[in-house]
Structures are given as C-alpha cells and as structure tokens.
Amino acid sequence: MIKKSRFLIWSITLVVIYMVTSCNTSENKTITDSYERKVDSLLSLMTLTEKIGQLNLVGRDGNRNSATQIGPKKANDIRKGLVGNLIGVVGAAPNREVQRIAVEESRLGIPLLFARDVIHGYKTLTPIPLAEAASWDLEAIEKSARIAAIEASASGINWTYAPMVDISRDPRWGRVMEGAGEDPYYGSLVAAARVRGFQGDDLSKENTILACAKHFAGYGSPMAGREYSIIDVSMRELYEVHLPPFEAALNASVGTYMTSFTEVNAVPATVSKFLLTDILREQWNFDGFVVTDWSTITQLMEHGVAADSSSAAVASIKAGVDMDMGSQAFVRNLENLVKEKKVSEKDIDIAVRRILLAKYRLGLFEDPYKYTNPEREKTEVLTPQNREAAREMAQKSMVLLKNENQLLPLSKSLKTVAVIGPVADDPRTHMGRWKAEGERKDVITLLHGLKKKLPNTKFLYAKGVDYDTKDRSGFLEAISVAKQAEVVVLAIGESQKHSGEASSRASIDIPGIQMELVKKLHTLGKPMVVVLYNGRPLTINWINDHIPAILEAWIPGTEGGNAIADILFGDYNPSGKLPITFPYSVGQIPIFYSYKNTGRPDDGSDTKWASKYYDIPNEPLYPFGYGLSYTNFKYSDLKIKKSKVTMSDTITFSMSITNAGKVPGEEVIQVYTRDLLASVTRPVKELKRFKKVLLKPGETKTISFSITANDLKLLNEQLQWITEPGEFQLLIGSSSSDIRLEGKFELIE
C-alpha cells in the first residue's frame, strides 16, 4: 500500500517537473519539443513496473450504473500503476472517479486514457460509416465525426477506435459497414475527414479526442470474406489499395494506429516489423503510438508464430507495438523479459514515451478531468442540434436505387399507407452494431418518422415477419394491411446482428424468409417501395426486377426514420451514391469498378473465349458511384485546357452540368482516368476527382477540375511510385459505369 506522505512527495515532485519544464519552454520551441522534454522528465521517475503499466489497456468490469464500472482489483492495479488505459468505462462521473484514483492515488499520478469505439456517433448516432461515405460530402462526414467527439469527450472518452480505414471489395465481410467502401482514393479523403473531425484543430481542447486509424493493414481483404481469416494480398495490392487511406490518416495527423487480426505476407500484423516499423516509423515518420487489436498478442500462439505469451510479448514490442489491448501479455511478462535481457528497458521506454506524449497532447497532465465535465455531459450530448445534424447526415447518405415511373416522392395527400417489415419499427436495427451509448428510446424509427411527418395520414403497420425465422404467422396480417393501403412501404433487410464485426455472410441475400413475404405482397399489385436496411451490399436482383422504387437506407442512426420520411415524401431529394459495388451474385466477389482489362476482355460479343462467366453477367447489379435523384442532370461541354501537358504542369478541364428536371437536386460529378498505355497493367477506370453540386431546376453550372502528374502515378514492376508519360483518357460521369463525357490528354516529359 502506498502511503499518503509518499503521494504528497511525488505530487510535489511532479508539480516541480511541470513547472521547471514549462518555464524552460521557450516561445520558439514547438509544443511537441516541450512535451517531449516533459515526457523525458517523467520517464526518469518511473519504475519499470510503472512503465509497463502505461503499455497496458484493460476493459471495464462493473455494470454501467456502478460508481466506477471497475472492480476493486482493477482499481488497485491503477493505484499500483499497472494499468495506464481503459476501454469501455464511460460517463463523466465514473470516469472522473476512476481518473481520480489514477491521478491522486497512484505514485506518479499519471492520468488514464479512456477509449471507446465511437464509430458513428456516441449517443446521437449518425449513419454507419459506409452510409456516410455514400454522401460524398466530406464536410458533412467531418462534421459528423466532430459531433461524435464532442459528445464522447463530454462523457469521459478521450480516445476513439475510429476511423476504420480498411478498403474492402468483399461484401461478405461484415465489417464493410465500418469503412468507406472500395476505392482507395475516396477512402483516403474520407479517412482524413474523419480524423480531422475527431481530433479537431487542437487535440488539447476539451472536446477533441484521439483518433485511431485501424486495422493496420489489409484487414479488408479477408480470405473468402470470412472474419478474422488471413489475407494473402500482393505487395502491389497492399501499396495500391490498402495503405493509401492509412497514409492519408497520417497526413491528417492521426494520433494512433491499431494493428489488425490478420496477417501480411504470412506475418501476423501485430508482429509485422515491415508494417509497424519499416512503413509506419521509418517511411512515414509516425510519432504517435500503436495499439494492438483485442488480444492479438496472445493470439500469436494460435497463429503458430509464438510458443507462449512471453515470446509473443517480445515479438510484438520488438516489431513496434506500443500498447497491449486486452491480452495482458505485456504486464505479465515484460518485467521478467527485461531481467532475462530478452527485451531492453530502452524498447519499453520508446513505447512509454509515445503513450505519454499522447497524454500530453490531449492536455491530460494540465487537467486530467477535462473530459469528465458533468455540465458538458448534460448540455452537449443528444442535443436538438446534434439530432438535426444526424438527420441531415442520414438524408445525405441514402441512395435511391430505383424509381420507376417516378413513384417517389410519394404524395403527401395519401390517406392510407401500409408500413410493413421487421425493421419498420425496430430501433435496434436503426442503431446498428456499433451503437456506442445510443439508446432505443431515442431512436426515430421509420414508422415513427412517417407518423410525425404526416399526422393526418393513416399508417397501418404490420411487422409481417422477423429477420431470421421460419415463422410465417405474420404474413396474413401484413397482407390484410397492404390490401387496405394506397401504397406499401416495405422496411426490410439485415438486422443489427447481420453486419459488423464477426458477421461475415456467405450469402448476401436478404436474410430469412423476408423475400417470401415481399413476393406475396407484390402479387397484390399495389405500388410498392422497398426501404433497404443493411450494413453491406446485398444481392437484391428480384427486388430490382419487380419492385418499382428502392431506397437504400443502410443503418441510418438515431434520426433514421425522420430522414427516410423526408426522402419518401420529397422534402429531401436523394443525393447519395454508392461507395461500394453491389454485386449481381456472390460469385462475382471480389467485384469493384477499377478492375483491369485482361488480355481477353469481355467486349459484349458472343465469343466464349473472353473473360466472363458462363452463367451470369460480369456487370454488377449497381456499380460504384451509382445513385438516382428526383431530378436528372445533363452533362455537356467538356473543355480540356491543354491536350499535352508536361509532368510539372497541371491538367485543367471544365464541364457544364444542368439540372434538367423540376426540383432542386445535387449531383456527384465523378472524374475518372484511364492510363491507356503503361509499363504495367492499369485499371479501366480510376477515380481522381469528384464534386457534389447543388442545382436549381433549369440551372447550369460550369465546374472546373485540375489534376497533376502526381495523381496519375503508378507502381512500377519494382514497386516504386513513378509517373510515366503517355495518353490518358478522361471519363466524367454520374457513376463509374454511366460516363457522360470523354476526352483525352497526354502527359509529356
């Protein structure tokens, strides 16, 4: 037991260190320099045990309503300096009390980091990240992360495990919901926007939190789409597809990285020196810290690369891991390993230094309680403004997949509408898997949103069927309700259990017997709208063939029902575009727009000897970048300033876009290029720029773009990024397969 008098002496020592170091801070020195000196002073006071404690992150244990959410053993470990960081302890009051234990009752009073998976909102839930990416609105995406940070930081959290920046082209993988889709260029922009949103412009403010780019790297290509499985991607794919968003996060000053459950080049990511040291530290100069994913250190034994938890600890710290999440391998082994000289104290110091630096950057040493302000928790969480922003984000994220004969928007003078399906009034599914502190009672479901929008319309509700069931007993009621209505709105899709971590699916059809009900209802001949809820692309060919209107609502968050009602009744004109391809069949996976031509491309002719399937088309059901509007847009007048440009020149071009319909609308103009002749094979299309433009009916705008030679670089055979001269095709359109304008330019030496 540490005595009170010792606390006092150490507290005074610390205060002296802070005073000395802050007095010595000259105006000219960078803040980081000054923090580094503070870290060094502190480090010199720490015992080996205390250092190792800083590398240790553990979960909460008590229930949410207890005073600290941790049991007496964990509290004692904090006092002894054995735990430096916690995950899952939330709420201003509990976190304040746990922080107090660390600051006032441990020998050196080092504050704790409080982590939480704040993935798409804290209490006010915005749509899942994949849905937000469908907005193609980087400002809105940044704002959404900002709000999440404001709410989380008011409730004790100073570190989120987001953004997940894994690019994925395999919708069987349940975690596609947590990323920005299939494209590395767009994924990089989203990654940076989300980091900026969480971390703000100054990490030491009370409402900004540390972000974490995860899962470093390649986790988005699990073999056979199966969660936690290995990846076997080429170095080319790693550099071209998986690493760019992580580098974009770095350039946005992300504070932390998380390793992944998978392996790269047959080395588990948690012990990949190639990833964690060669790339992250040596090539990228990252000066934040790296945390493992949950228990990945002890999982090295299952991977078959470590005999026991002790050798797993050695391998991971040597590879470049700084913090152990959940496996306790560091705290249990490192002290002995130093004695046995298998790990040097210097190795440990490097990791401790990085973690302490992050704590300084957050301002925790100046005020350890800054994230536990009960007043802010009362006034800044789930505010009407945050709800409004969540509603706007949800509107922007939805994608109109089909709208035959302009069935949508529906008339506000409808008298009776049937609302059918398991999601229609299920708040849990509206929140999704990563619901953080979201609560059912705060969710506006679709049924609720519709009733609020049109109080004088009769909305007849029947659940009809559950997600995963063989029980057809609700069919009759659903059919009878549909018969009484002028229009049927069907809310179907995946439950919150179907997507997210550990929710890979071999079939990406609509689960259970929901389709049976859809088909029965379809025979009634009523106008039908399908509102689709899902965390991943689904194969919905039958729906696409038979149902006139389909709205992709994803997992829309707290305000989801309001946002859908806004779209269905025309108060918001849908503007989302798919950030990921919807396959026609699982057999096409991996499927993505930026594929390569092959030596025998499918040219649409009858030949059997082309790169195609015998039984299904090559084309997806809905391509990347696809999404309809209640209006339509005309593209015209492509002007490329100079058709030949040197490597140091900028390629500038403009085009006109006109809203040719009757209502205001937003279009995402997409600019792709194709490198026509190169030393290595190149994709048929690569997204290079985009712009989301709002146009009044009849309005025309001229939009200019510019790209540089750097945007056209390729990875040569030696895996070096170079730019080659030659001709490029410019393809501008409304989706990756709806190209409206084409041109060419040449890059010359």
Give catalytic residues, as residue numbers: 293
Rounded-to-integer distance, Cα 675 and Cα 713, Å: 10
CB of 237 to ligand BGC, least distance (A): 21
Residue 293 lies near ligand BGC (rule: CB under 6 A): yes
CA-to-CA separations, 243 to 71, 121, 131, 219, in angstroms, rounded? 40, 25, 22, 11
- Closest to ligand BGC by CB, 161 or 584: 161
The token duo for 630 is 């209640």
Residue 360 lies near ligand BGC (rule: CB under 6 A): no
Residue 437 lies near ligand BGC (rule: CB under 6 A): no
Axis crossing angle, helix 138-154 with helix 384-397, rounded to the nearest 10: 150
Give the sheet arrangement for strand 159-160, strand by strand: 159-160, 113-116, 85-87, 56-59, 324-325
Interface of this chain with ligand BGC, residues 83 to 142, rule: CB under 6 A? 117
Which one among 123, 169, 194, 214 touches ligand BGC, defined by CB under 6 A?
A: 214
Nearest residue to ligand BGC by CB is: 161
Residue 166 lies near ligand BGC (rule: CB under 6 A): no
**Alpha-carbon torsion, ordered 97, 99, 105, 110, to 10 deg:** -170
Residue 263 lies near ligand BGC (rule: CB under 6 A): no
Residue 163 has, within 13 A of its CA and on its CB side, a CA count of 40
The token duo for 85 is 């960081």
Residue 582 lies near ligand BGC (rule: CB under 6 A): no
CB of 678 to ligand BGC, least distance (A): 37
Residue 633 lies near ligand BGC (rule: CB under 6 A): no
Rounded-to-integer distance, Cα 722 and Cα 725, Å: 10
CB of 590 to ligand BGC, least distance (A): 21
- Closest to ligand BGC by CB, 219 or 365: 219
Rounded-to-integer distance, Cα 158 and Cα 114, Å: 6
- Closest to ligand BGC by CB, 78 or 269: 269
Residue 294 lies near ligand BGC (rule: CB under 6 A): yes
Residue 228 lies near ligand BGC (rule: CB under 6 A): no
Residue 194 lies near ligand BGC (rule: CB under 6 A): no
CB of 300 to ligand BGC, least distance (A): 16
Cβ contacts of residue 195 below 8 Å, gap of 6+? Answer: 145, 163, 211, 213, 249, 252, 253, 254
Distance of CA 20 to the CA centre of its chain: 42
CB distance 678 to 724 below 8 Å: yes
SS3 733: strand
* x-marked contacts with ligand BGC along 264-283 as a string, rule CB under 6 A: --------------------
Residue 240 lies near ligand BGC (rule: CB under 6 A): no
CB of 295 to ligand BGC, least distance (A): 8
CB of 571 to ligand BGC, least distance (A): 36
- Closest to ligand BGC by CB, 102 or 162: 162
CB of 177 to ligand BGC, least distance (A): 12
Residue 435 lies near ligand BGC (rule: CB under 6 A): no
Interface of this chain with ligand BGC, residues 142 to 161, rule: CB under 6 A? 161
- Closest to ligand BGC by CB, 49 or 295: 295
Interface of this chain with ligand BGC, residues 310 to 329, rule: CB under 6 A? none
Axis crossing angle, helix 560-568 with helix 384-397, rounded to the nearest 10: 50
Rounded-to-integer distance, Cα 191 and Cα 166, Å: 9
- Closest to ligand BGC by CB, 118 or 238: 118
* DSSP one-letter code for 365: T
- Closest to ligand BGC by CB, 294 or 542: 294
Interface of this chain with ligand BGC, residues 480 to 509, rule: CB under 6 A? 501
- φ and ψ at residue 587, rounded to 5 degrees: -60, -20
- Closest to ligand BGC by CB, 274 or 294: 294
Burial 92-118 (b: 16+ CB within 10 A, else e): bebbbbbbebbbebbbbbbbbbbbbbb
Nearest 5°: the CA angle 469, 472, 477 is: 130
Residues of the shown chain interacting with ligand BGC in the complex, contacts defined by CB under 6 A? 117, 161, 214, 293-294, 501
